[in-house]
Each structure stands twice: as structure tokens, then as C-alpha cells.
């Protein structure tokens, strides 16, 4: 059961207003704020949502919002528990629930936050990496587990289908994995880094599991190495008709990390790769924090958001999957207090907004010509300051993405954060609360 030693969920509050801001010299203008509903506490005792700069832990369905997390483990108590939850959009059609998956093998020392996709028929597919200790104290190994629901949009019907994950030629992994689903739901892909203790597999070999729909399951081909071994790669995944596009942070220690784009066909063969160019004066890392369709129903044009914290700007890129062309649409300067990363969210076919989480505090909304030449306006979102709600801080920011099978409603946006509970210390990975808001224009 959730820890009750946290602030109670605030009642839904409706807030309307106008905001005026000057951002990096762009023209200012009055901008209507959305109606803000929430926050809702989805769960009150989760661990930090590790890797939220890359991974997404919320999926929007027809009747419910689905989320994944790991349970907070004081003193790393065992067994580790994965949490898969649902929050109803309409209580007449769905109910709130949390499914707990436990891993009780004595060798299990941890699990990663589950990655989830929703197929168009509402079946939920959950992938979890489990870390096992070995006789070698310097080597731990990651194994993959696959669960799917037996009923549409029902986390309580999840069953174990891990036997469908091939074990050859790769079976041991670093658990920096991500998943994506094709628009028609017939195919999906899981990307991960393979390893082996005896060096049979070169360290950090990038591999992908390609799955095709068979009944309610995804059945997988043997995993394919799609690139040469590399540093740690934290990819976001777009499973498009023209192939699989991966965009993410590539660690190159001791050099600064960069953002790399890799495009492969549905046989796992590389057809294009490039590193996103940085400005001549960029300092340090240049990282991607969001990948999603530019228009929700058109997956041939992908929006890539990058944060240049050193130069204090937000960059919005477009990649065309057919032509394999990458171009910078807009670079929006900002001051240091507003430069933290966030998510670009389409509202309609010709309009999107950007939401970020500066300084782990109140969420900030950016509206205007984010992909053009006109004004860009910035304002703080009401009801989203963590201290006002009794929390220490907001951490990572999430928003449902069609690339994981989310259904988006025009004019609405769901955002969520893992907020630090009052009793969280700086040396632990929790407890946190998973908070959710709905914004309506």
C-alpha cells in the first residue's frame, strides 16, 4: 500500500489567467493559460523515476491513464517491486488500480522502471529489466521480462509472457532500454545494450528485439546488433513505416555526451546515422530529451527537442523519415532559470506547446511560434509548484507520447512528475510521489 506519510492530494482546482513574459528579447504578448486540473497523486511511495530525461512512464489510453514505476525500497529491502497503475479518465468506464510485480529470486538485486506500450486494441505490454548478481562481484547481469494484459486497458490482468523473449545470440544486458510501437500496432521494437562476462559479446553492443503481433502477444525474432559497440546509449524510439528511428544521449567519457540519431530498416540494417550538430560556442553536453511525431497522426515527420544548458537555449528539430533529412526549426534562447529540459507536446495539427521544469520547481509553459519565426511566450503554470503542495521539489517531467501507443486528445495535455516527498533525503532514491495534472485549452 502507498505510504501515507505525505501530503494529501489537492482537490482539483480550475485556474484561468493571462501571462506576459519576455524571453530572450522575443516580442511579448498576452497569452491565455490553460485550465489546470490537479494534481492527482497516482502513487505516494515510488523510487525516483530514473532516466526521466529519456524514458517516458505514462501512457494515455481510451478510458484511463497508465503509469509505471518501481516501489521505494528503504535500505534496498527485498524483493524489488514493479508498479503498473491505471487512473480512470471516467470512473463509469474504468477504475483506479495498481498491479505489483515482485521478483523474489535471491540473486535479484534490482529492477529498472518498467517500459510500457499500448496497442490500438487496448492491450498493455510491459517490459522490465531485472538485475542479477553473479559469482563475479564485478559483474551483474540484466535479464528481460515481458508482461501483457489479458484484457484491454486492465493492469490487473497482466500475465508473464517472458518466454517469448529470445535468449540467443544475446541474453545479458545493460538495462538502459526503451520500446516503441508502430502506428498500426502490428510491430514493436525494444532497444538495449548487450554485454557478456566472457567477452563473447563486445561490451555495449547495441541490439534490438523486433516483435510482430500474434494474437494478443508480440512474438520476437532473435535480437539484431544494429550498430558497432558504443558508450552508454539512452535512446528514444520511433517505430515508423520507413524504419526505426533512435535518438538519444550517447556517453563518450571523458568527452561530453552528445545526441545521436540512428535510422535502421525493419530488418535492423542501418540506413542513416548522424550526430546532431551543436553551435560553435556550445559548452559541454547537448542532449535530446524528447522525440515524438510533429503531428500526432503523421509519423513521417519527427520532432526532436534538445536542451543546450550551457548556451541556455531550447532547440526544436525535425527529422523526415522518408528523405532522412534533419533540420533545425527554431532555437529559443532563455535565461539560466528557465533552461531546464522538458517535453514538446502537440495540441492540434498546427500547434504545439513546450513544458519544462526549471530548477525542480513550478512547471513552465512555452507557447507561440516554437517552430517558426514569430513570438514565443513563457509563463508559470498554476497549481504546479511543489512546495505549495507540500513536496520538496518536482523532478522529471513526463507526457504521453503516440510513439508508445498513447491516445492524445486535441486541446488537452497530461503532464506528470515524480515529486520528492517531505521525508526524502538527498542520499536516497525516494520516497517520491507520482503527480499528474491535466491542462485544457
| pLDDT tops 50 at residue 9 | no
CA angle, 193 as apex, 189 and 197 as ends, to 5°?
A: 140
pTM over 0.85: yes
Domains in the chain: boundaries: 23-440
Structure confidence by residue, pLDDT tens digits, 344-380 = 998 877 789 999 987 778 999 999 999 888 899 999 9
Looking at domain 23-440, its CATH class is mainly beta
- How would residue 16 be classed by pLDDT, with cut points 50, 70 and 90? very low
Query: What is the average pLDDT across 381-400?
Result: 93
Structure confidence by residue, pLDDT tens digits, 93-117 = 888 999 999 998 999 998 999 999 9
- How would residue 283 be classed by pLDDT, with cut points 50, 70 and 90? low
Residue 117 CB partners (closer than 8 Å, separation 6+) = 59, 124, 125, 179, 180, 181, 188, 404, 405
Half-sphere exposure of 33 (CA within 13 A, CB side): 21
Least confident among 3-17, 286-300, 352-366: 3-17
| pLDDT tops 90 at residue 336 | no
Residue, of 374 and 188, whose pLDDT is higher? 188
Q: What is the pLDDT of residue 419?
A: 94
Query: What is the average pLDDT across 285-296?
Result: 90
Q: What is the pLDDT of residue 42?
A: 97
Query: What is the average pLDDT across 207-225?
Result: 96
Dist CA 182 CA 425 (whole Å): 41
The three-state secondary structure class of 24 is: coil
Q: What is the pLDDT of residue 18?
A: 39
CA angle, 429 as apex, 425 and 432 as ends, to 5°?
A: 80
What proportion of the chain, given as a percentage, has pLDDT over 90? 65
Average per-residue pLDDT in the chain? 88
Q: What is the pLDDT of residue 29?
A: 40
| pLDDT tops 90 at residue 325 | yes
Structure confidence by residue, pLDDT tens digits, 48-61 = 998 777 889 999 99
Please check whether residue 116 is in contact with residue 58, taking contact to mean a CB–CB distance below 8 angstroms: no
Residue 369 CB partners (closer than 8 Å, separation 6+) = 330, 375, 376
- How would residue 282 be classed by pLDDT, with cut points 50, 70 and 90? low
Amino acid at each position: 500500500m502507498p505510504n501515507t506519510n505525505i501530503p494529501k492530494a489537492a482537490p482539483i482546482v480550475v485556474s484561468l489567467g493571462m501571462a506576459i513574459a519576455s524571453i530572450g528579447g522575443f516580442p511579448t504578448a498576452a497569452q491565455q493559460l490553460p485550465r489546470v486540473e490537479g494534481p492527482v497523486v497516482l502513487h505516494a511511495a515510488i523510487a525516483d523515476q530514473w532516466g526521466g530525461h529519456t524514458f517516458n512512464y505514462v501512457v494515455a489510453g481510451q478510458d484511463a491513464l497508465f503509469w509505471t514505476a518501481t516501489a521505494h525500497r528503504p535500505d534496498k529491502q527485498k524483493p524489488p517491486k514493479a508498479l503498473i497503475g491505471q487512473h480512470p479518465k471516467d470512473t463509469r468506464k474504468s477504475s483506479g488500480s495498481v498491479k505489483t510485480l515482485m521478483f523474489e529470486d535471491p540473486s535479484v538485486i534490482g529492477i529498472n522502471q518498467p517500459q510500457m506500450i499500448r496497442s490500438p486494441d487496448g492491450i498493455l505490454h510491459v517490459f522490465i529489466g531485472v538485475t542479477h548478481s553473479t559469482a563475479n562481484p564485478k559483474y551483474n547481469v540484466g535479464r528481460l521480462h515481458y508482461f501483457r494484459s489479458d484484457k484491454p486497458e486492465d493492469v490487473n490482468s497482466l500475465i508473464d509472457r517472458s518466454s517469448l523473449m529470445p535468449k540467443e545470440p544475446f541474453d545479458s544486458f545493460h538495462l538502459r532500454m526503451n520500446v516503441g510501437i508502430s502506428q498500426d500496432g502490428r510491430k514493436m521494437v525494444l532497444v538495449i545494450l548487450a554485454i557478456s562476462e566472457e567477452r563473447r559479446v563486445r561490451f555495449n553492443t547495441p541490439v534490438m528485439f523486433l516483435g510482430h503481433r500474434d494474437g494478443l502477444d508480440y512474438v520476437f525474432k532473435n535480437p539484431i546488433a544494429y550498430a558497432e559497440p558504443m558508450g552508454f546509449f539512452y535512446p528514444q524510439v520511433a517505430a515508423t513505416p520507413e524504419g526505426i528511428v533512435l535518438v538519444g544521449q550517447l556517453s563518450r567519457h571523458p568527452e561530453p555526451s552528445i545526441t545521436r540519431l540512428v535510422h535502421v530498416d525493419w530488418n535492423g540494417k542501418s540506413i542513416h546515422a548522424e550526430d546532431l550538430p551543436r553551435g560553435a560556442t556550445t559548452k559541454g553536453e547537448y542532449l535530446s530529451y524528447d522525440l515524438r511525431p510533429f503531428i500526432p497522426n503523421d509519423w513521417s515527420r519527427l520532432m526532436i527537442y534538445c536542451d543546450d544548458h550551457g548556451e541556455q537555449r531550447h532547440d526544436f528539430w525535425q527529422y523526415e523519415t522518408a528523405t532522412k533529412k534533419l533540420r533545425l526549426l527554431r532555437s529559443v534562447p532563455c535565461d539560466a532559470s528557465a533552461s531546464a529540459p522538458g517535453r514538446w507536446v502537440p495540441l492540434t495539427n498546427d500547434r504545439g506547446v513546450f513544458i519544462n521544469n526549471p530548477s525542480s520547481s513550478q512547471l513552465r509553459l512555452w507557447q507561440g511560434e516554437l517552430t517558426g519565426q514569430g513570438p514565443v511566450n513563457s509563463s508559470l503554470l498554476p497549481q504546479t509548484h511543489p512546495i505549495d503542495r507540500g513536496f520538496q521539489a518536482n523532478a522529471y517531467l513526463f507526457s504521453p507520447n503516440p510513439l508508445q501507443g498513447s491516445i492524445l486528445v486535441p486541446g488537452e495535455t497530461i503532464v506528470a512528475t515524480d515529486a520528492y516527498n517531505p521525508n526524502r533525503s538527498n542520499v536516497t532514491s525516494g520516497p517520491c510521489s507520482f503527480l499528474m495534472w491535466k491542462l485544457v485549452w
